[in-house]
Every structure is written in structure tokens, then in C-alpha cells.
């Protein structure tokens, strides 16, 4: 059912490092043609660290782990590419649909293919006003039952960060800051909340991964929260002001459900003159580079 590219399959068979990459950022996160340029750039960053990139998507009803250039171009340029969470995968497969995978779908397909390390921008989480909407990203539940290491810049700052951290604890998902005792806030180096554990090298992350396997506990993820460099973060004062404006606009326009996140993110891009997008891409690049190093440390066991 899952099509693993020849390059990725050969690397996995030889125990060489592989890094999974999501495709939603390509299809839905960036304008054309910059989306394809970024997709190719991120794959190149993985290769610079001696690892093999495995960008994941569903094409004509077939989940693919590892895309060639033509397939990347389809995801970047084809109209009608759906956005697929893990719950959508059976429907997309049965319908013969094509779609870009979110964090939850990417993590699931990567784990099923035997890829242990996954790099993304920011996780989904518990939404603000959760007590009213009960809106929580499917990422959290999926990561609670999937053995994969996710390198991310924390969770999107538009979310309820402390509630998300509490939910991850409840679900038993391990969280560690990379080189920091603070949980990053996607666009920001510091969300204002601490983490209980800090890891300072790819080797230490790989040691935790080995300990997960040795303990044979629940099949849950390891979140490696890697902050965007301070010099590349979105100005915190600008972030606070524009996010407050975005939240008010969201309420005034009656935006709800799955439409909330893209509405808020689009507002941030437009009202920071693209600075939020620049911080987002800086975070993704850093996460992909670190994931390549972690994958190399893990493969070198």
C-alpha cells in the first residue's frame, strides 16, 4: 500500500540516516513558485547532513514515502491537492485522491515505513477557548501512539501553549528542549513556558530514542523542541500585537473550526509584512538540519 522510493528503501535497508518531511508546507503553506524552491532546499539541507530526505504525500490514492522531483512538482503546482491528516488517509486511498500530508499523516506514514526521525515547523495543539470549542489538533493523539522523533519549533503560537504542554504530558508524549530549558513558540525562541528536560546534542537525542526502545514502553513520540535562533525570530512585541489583532478579527468574522488556523496564520503574514513567514522558514530550516544530524547519530548506533 505504501510506496517507498528506491532511494529511501535502500537507505533504510542499509541503516543509513533518513529524515521524513511533510508536504503540507509545499502545497498549502507557501505561494508558488517559492513552495517548490523551499521543498527542494529542505531536501538539500537533509543531504548536506549525510541523510536521505523522505518527503511524504499521497498521489492518486497511493501514499508515497520519498518523492522524486516530478512528484514534488505535482504537490507544489497541481490544483486540487487536498490537505490530509491521518484520519483522511483511508478516504484518500479509497478515492484515489492526491493530498499533502500534515504532521499526523506524515508521522504515521513515516513510522509505518520504518523512518524514525521527522522534521517539521510547529506542531498542532490545543486551541484557545478549548473549554468552549473542544478544538484540539489530531497531531497530539497520533503522537501519543506513534514511535517517532519529531524535531519542531514547539507549537504554533496562535494556540494555547500551556494547555498543549499539559495535554502532551497527559498523553505521555516525551518533550525535551534542544539546547534550552524553555519551550519555543514557533515564531519565537521562547514561548514563555519551561520544559522539564534539555538535550544538548544529536547523540543525546539518539540515546533517548534507544532508551525508548529498550524500555519497550508505549509507542509514543519524542518531541525535540528546537528554538528558532533569536536573531531570526519574529519581533516579540510585533508578534503580540498582531496576534491580538488577529484573534479579535477571527472572533468578529465568526471564523471557527479548521478555518481558524489558516485565518490566523494568514493574518500574521500580511500584518507583519512577511516577517512571520521568514521566521517560520528559518525555524523549518533549523529543524531539518538538526533532524539530519539526529538521524545520523541514530543510524550510527
Q: Which residues are annotated as a binding site?
A: 83, 103, 135, 137-139
Q: Strand (E) positions, 22-97?
A: 52-59, 62-65, 82-84
Q: Are 165 and 143 in contact (CB under 8 A)?
A: no
User: Which H/E stretch holds residue 43?
Assistant: helix 34-48
Q: Retrieve residue 199's grid coordinates.
A: 538535550
Burial pattern 70-96, b for ≥16 Cβ within 10 A else e, equals ebbbbbbeeeebbbbbbebbeebbeee
- 69 catalytic per annotation: no
Q: Strand (E) positions, the chain?
A: 3-4, 18-21, 52-59, 62-65, 82-84, 99-101, 117-119, 149-152, 174-178, 182-185, 188-194, 198-199, 222-225
14 CB neighbour count, 10 Å cutoff: 9
Q: Retrieve residue 183's grid coordinates.
A: 519551550
Active-site residue among 73, 156, 231, 251? 156
- Interior angle at CA 141, CA 177 and CA 283, nearest 5: 35
Euclidean distance between CA atoms 82 and 258, whole angstroms: 14
Annotated binding site for substrate: 83, 103, 137-139
Active-site residue among 7, 10, 22, 78? 22
Q: Which residues are catalytic?
A: 22, 156
Amino acid at each position: 500500500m505504501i510506496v517507498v522510493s528506491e532511494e529511501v528503501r535502500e537507505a533504510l535497508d542499509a541503516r543509513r540516516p533518513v529524515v521524513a518531511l511533510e508536504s503540507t508546507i509545499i502545497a498549502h503553506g507557501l505561494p508558488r513558485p517559492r513552495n517548490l524552491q523551499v521543498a527542494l532546499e529542505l531536501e538539500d539541507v537533509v543531504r548536506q547532513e549525510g541523510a536521505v530526505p523522505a518527503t511524504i504525500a499521497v498521489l492518486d490514492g497511493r501514499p508515497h514515502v520519498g518523492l522524486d522531483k516530478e512528484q514534488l512538482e505535482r504537490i507544489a503546482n497541481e490544483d486540487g491537492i487536498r490537505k490530509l491528516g491521518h484520519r483522511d488517509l483511508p478516504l484518500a486511498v479509497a478515492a484515489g485522491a492526491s493530498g499533502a500530508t500534515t504532521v499526523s499523516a506524515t508521522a504515521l506514514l513515516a513510522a509505518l515505513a520504518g523512518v524514525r526521525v521527522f522534521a517539521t515547523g510547529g506542531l498542532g495543539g490545543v486551541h484557545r477557548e478549548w473549554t468552549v470549542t473542544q478544538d484540539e489538533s489530531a497531531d497530539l493523539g497520533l503522537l501519543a501512539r506513534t514511535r517517532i522523533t519529531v524535531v519542531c519549533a514547539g507549537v504554533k503560537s496562535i494556540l494555547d501553549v500551556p494547555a498543549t504542554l499539559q495535554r502532551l504530558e497527559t498523553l505521555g508524549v516525551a518533550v525535551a528542549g534542544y539546547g534550552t530549558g524553555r519551550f519555543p513558540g514557533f515564531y519565537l525562541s521562547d514561548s514563555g513556558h519551561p520544559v522539564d528536560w534539555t538535550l544538548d546534542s544529536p547523540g543525546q537525542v539518539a540515546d533517548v530514542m534507544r532508551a525508548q526502545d529498550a524500555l519497550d514502553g508505549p509507542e509514543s513520540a519524542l518531541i525535540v523542541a528546537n528554538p528558532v535562533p533569536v536573531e531570526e525570530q519574529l519581533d516579540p512585541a510585533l508578534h503580540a500585537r498582531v496576534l491580538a489583532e488577529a484573534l479579535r478579527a477571527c472572533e468578529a468574522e465568526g471564523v471557527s473550526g479548521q478555518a481558524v488556523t489558516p485565518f490566523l496564520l494568514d493574518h500574521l503574514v500580511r500584518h507583519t509584512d512577511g516577517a512571520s513567514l521568514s521566521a517560520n522558514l528559518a525555524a523549518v530550516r533549523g529543524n531539518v538540519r538538526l533532524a539530519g544530524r539526529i538521524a545520523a547519530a541514530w543510524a550510527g548506533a
